[in-house]
Structure 1
Amino acid sequence: MSRSPDAVRWQQPVTAGAVTALVGFTSSFAVVLAGLRAVGASPSQAASGLLALTVGFGLLIVGLALVHRVPVTLAWSTPGAALLVSTGAVEGGWPAAVGAFVVTGVLIALIGAVPLLGDLVARIPTEIAQAMLAGILLQLCLAPFLALADSPGYVLPVILAWLVTSRVAPRWAVPVALLVAVGAIAVAANRSGQSLDTASLVPRLEWTTPTWTWPAIVGIALPLTIVTMASQNLPGAAVLRSFGFSVPWRSSVVATGVGTALVAPFGGHAMNLAALSAALAAGDEAGPRERRWVAAVSAGVGYLVIAAAAGLVVALAAVAPPGIIEAVAGLALIGALVGSLQGAFEQPRHRTSAGLTFLLAASGISLLSVGAAFWALLLGLAVRATLDRP
């Protein structure tokens, strides 16, 4: 029996939302997992962070879409997770990192609630913010090729799958690479006699009491806030505007800030407006324009369903050959790295400040127990205000 035209029109946004959730999760969870582990999370704490973030922004997506009737979609901060990889362990360990996540949430909420703070963030020069982000991303984007030297038999098929799919279906390149990686992990586990820890397959929230140290606040919270606002929230709003939707800026940013602060003790680092995956729910493929908010609701529900996979992905990572998870994460960020480099060096007169910012951020050094991203931002702003002046 043929379906009515109205049923077909509803099917479009529901399907688009499901695809948004599937692509959004599978294309970047490896980055988030690597970031949480880098700042000291145990496997169970990392699984808790994935679960808390996915459930948190899944619920917020449904709420914002129902209230505003706009296809607002949210995500975790993928560049922020890359920042955690480049920062590494901080003074005070994992509890201090969690404390920095709480501060990040408070700062994001204040930026959304207080227009003056939002204006200050928006005034950070684009080339400096992009150069800092490019330096942060560089280390992770090198991971596929470093892993290729260590485990060529496992990593090469992942890279080839990503390349081929990038040519024929770019949106699915990372999910396909992930699928090949899962196959490689299964082969490696079978050869080594390893098995999945079945006790960890069901994810559960794990509370960490936050502690606050200045190195963690300065080295994680401040650059994490800037990276999340500059490379996620602002582009995410721009994507929605490009499809003709009015962005509920204040409520969205405040909601993600409060949400970040609430999920932080369970391991979540930051949530924000979706940027890359936003077009999937807001674009023409999501059906009639007046019903695209349904795609956002569908995406939110999809994330709530997918959240159950948090324990499985961490268990897979535990038995994976060296570097294969990092390789998938690096492949997922190559597009972001290229875009950041283009934005950083587009203006000839500011290439000195952008270049120094990029190099210092990429160095991964720590000064006074504070990571390179913060110092790179300060150096870039100082050089731009002095040497780059006409």
Structure 2
Amino acid sequence: MSDVSGTERRVVGAGVNPQPLIAGLLAAVVGYASTFALVLAALTAVGASASQAGSGLLAICVAVGILNIAVAWTTRKPVSFAWSTPGAAFLLTVGEPAGGYPAVVGAFLVAAALIVLSGLVRPLARAVAAIPAPIANAMLAGMLLTLCLAPFRAIEEAPAHALPILLAWALALRFTRRYAVPIAVLVTVIVLATTTQVPQGGVAIVWPMPIWIMPAFTLDAILRIALPLYIVTMASQNLPGLAVMKANGFDLKAAPLFILTGAASAATALFGGHTVNLAAITAAIAAGPEAHPDPGRRWAAPVAAGGTYIVFAAAASFAAAFIAASPPILIQAVAGLALLSSLGAALSGALVNEEARLPAILTFVATASGVTILGVGAPFWGLVGGLALMMVLRLGQRSKPELVGK
């Protein structure tokens, strides 16, 4: 009886203490404001119309919101979910496949099915986890490089618009690092609002409209989009997300979470959205000490974040229409600024191990090259090339003692 009363007191305390609620609100604002433009640009880059991209963002926001609320409330652990930012960065580089956006939706469904299988078939998750961290980081860095160059291309193409954005980001980075990207997004919105004419009817679609998209399954889209998207989501989001939770003292069962995020990804795919996964960066806000000194009360932070994401979903259609009418280079520029820290972390992780450094560099260069061979994109070949070189080098190291002995 005393245990139940103690639990009730903890729940009540979590409800009235504003600290985890503020942390959750901050996590959602940072997560959304930093990359919603990237998501819309990525969906558009693979063939989505403005209305389809808005539908995709709406679906992802709702899915992320529901997962955050339901899982944190049920488990009483600060489990956080987000969309795949590395996955969106990857989509920006792949181009529209044969079959158009229906084929992309089919690829999203295949990636979602693979995530579910990772929860059902343990060896599959272990195989993804076995990809050496330097190789996974190098592949991610190669995908991010092109996008992170966009701010400087924007300065060349539209200096009057790009320089204020870059200056605001740099100043915010100096004085309030956590809000640097949201401030850059705000300045971008101001710049675009004063220079961009939203098409007639833009105001009429403020309320988002989910659009069902019938998928088409093509080998081209599966090889170019589904497989790399699955690997990027698992290696750069789900597995790091588990690591962040463990670092904060929360051990989670991975299989049920993979099944949940895979199922949610399948649902969002049918409305134009890409993958949903465990949060990594924003999870540190919700699961860390700044959410609450008592780990047992931090679960309220993802609940607050989930509610905030559902509120943000209402702006999805207008955001899509506004961005569709804006110069693409400025949208890419602010997305590139948002991903600079991710690029730095990926490069650091890729080069930290001296033995794996050369295979990681090969992976990075091959991925950044953007080449397509046999209809398969550069990230896949970068991953294969890096793993192959690593195996060759390890075989050579193993054979040296035998040769010396002979």
Amino acid at match of 1:118: A
- 8 Å CA contact 1:353–1:384 kept in 2: the answer is yes
Pair 1:233 & 2:238 matched: yes
Supply the distance in 2 between the matched residues of 1:65 and 1:385 (Cα, whole angstroms). 41
Amino acid at match of 2:324: A
* Residue 239 (structure 1) shift: 1.1
Identity of aligned pairs, percent?
49
Summarize the Cα distance change of 1:262–1:243 in structure 2 as closer, same or farther, 3 Å threshold. Answer: same
Q: Which residue of 2 aligns with 1:56?
A: 63
The one of 164, 167, 192 equivalent to 1:185 is 192
Q: Which residue of 2 aligns with 1:133?
A: 140
Pair 1:111 & 2:118 matched: yes
* Residue 387 (structure 1) shift: 3.9
* Residue 388 (structure 1) shift: 5.5
The one of 280, 294, 299 equivalent to 1:293 is 299
* Residue 312 (structure 1) shift: 2.0
The one of 214, 219, 226 equivalent to 1:209 is 214
Supply the distance in 1 between the matched residues of 2:253 and 2:329 (Cα, whole angstroms). 40
* Residue 370 (structure 1) shift: 1.8
The one of 240, 260, 273 equivalent to 1:268 is 273
Pair 1:31 & 2:50 matched: no
Note the alpha carbon deviations across 1:126-185, whole angstroms, 9 max, x for none: 111111111100111011111111111111111111111112222111100000001100
* Residue 311 (structure 1) shift: 1.3
SS at match of 1:27: helix
Amino acid at match of 2:352: E
Amino acid at match of 1:234: L
The one of 86, 98, 102 equivalent to 2:109 is 102
Amino acid at match of 1:179: L
Pair 1:251 & 2:256 matched: yes
Amino acid at match of 1:31: L
Pair 1:161 & 2:164 matched: no
SS at match of 1:284: coil
Name structure 1 gaps, 5 residues minimum: none
- 8 Å CA contact 2:14–2:297 kept in 1: the answer is no
The one of 59, 74, 77 equivalent to 1:67 is 74
Supply the distance in 2 between the matched residues of 1:44 and 1:216 (Cα, whole angstroms). 22
* Residue 251 (structure 1) shift: 1.8
SS at match of 2:79: coil
Q: Which residue of 1 aligns with 2:402?
A: none
Which runs of 4 or more aligned residues in structure 1 lie more than 3 Å from their structure 2 counterparts after TM superposition? 5-9, 192-196
TM-score, reference length from structure 2: 0.91
* Residue 379 (structure 1) shift: 1.3
More divergent stretch after superposition (110-119 vs 323-332):
110-119
Amino acid at match of 1:113: L
Supply the distance in 1 between the matched residues of 2:183 and 2:383 (Cα, whole angstroms). 35
Q: Which residue of 1 aligns with 2:376?
A: 370
More divergent stretch after superposition (281-290 vs 24-33):
281-290
The one of 348, 372, 390 equivalent to 2:354 is 348
- 8 Å CA contact 2:120–2:255 kept in 1: the answer is yes
* Residue 318 (structure 1) shift: 2.5
Pair 1:307 & 2:313 matched: yes
Pair 1:124 & 2:131 matched: yes
Larger radius of gyration, structure 1 or 2?
A: 2
Pair 1:144 & 2:164 matched: no
TM-score, reference length from structure 1: 0.94
- 8 Å CA contact 1:136–1:362 kept in 2: the answer is yes
Note the alpha carbon deviations across 1:363-389, whole angstroms, 9 max, x for none: 112222221111111111111111454
Q: Which residue of 1 aligns with 2:337?
A: 331
CA RMSD of aligned residues (A): 1.7
- 8 Å CA contact 1:71–1:282 kept in 2: the answer is yes
- 8 Å CA contact 2:261–2:277 kept in 1: the answer is yes
Supply the distance in 2 between the matched residues of 1:319 and 1:92 (Cα, whole angstroms). 25
Note the alpha carbon deviations across 1:40-77, whole angstroms, 9 max, x for none: 11111110110001101211111111111100110000
More divergent stretch after superposition (175-184 vs 202-211):
202-211
Supply the distance in 2 between the matched residues of 1:12 and 1:128 (Cα, whole angstroms). 38
Supply the distance in 2 between the matched residues of 1:367 and 1:8 (Cα, whole angstroms). 55
Name structure 2 gaps, 5 residues minimum: 1-11, 398-406
* Residue 8 (structure 1) shift: 9.0
SS at match of 1:245: coil
* Residue 214 (structure 1) shift: 1.1
Summarize the Cα distance change of 1:7–1:277 in structure 2 as closer, same or farther, 3 Å threshold. Answer: closer
Summarize the Cα distance change of 1:262–1:186 in structure 2 as closer, same or farther, 3 Å threshold. Answer: same
Question: Number of aligned pairs?
Answer: 384
* Residue 102 (structure 1) shift: 0.3
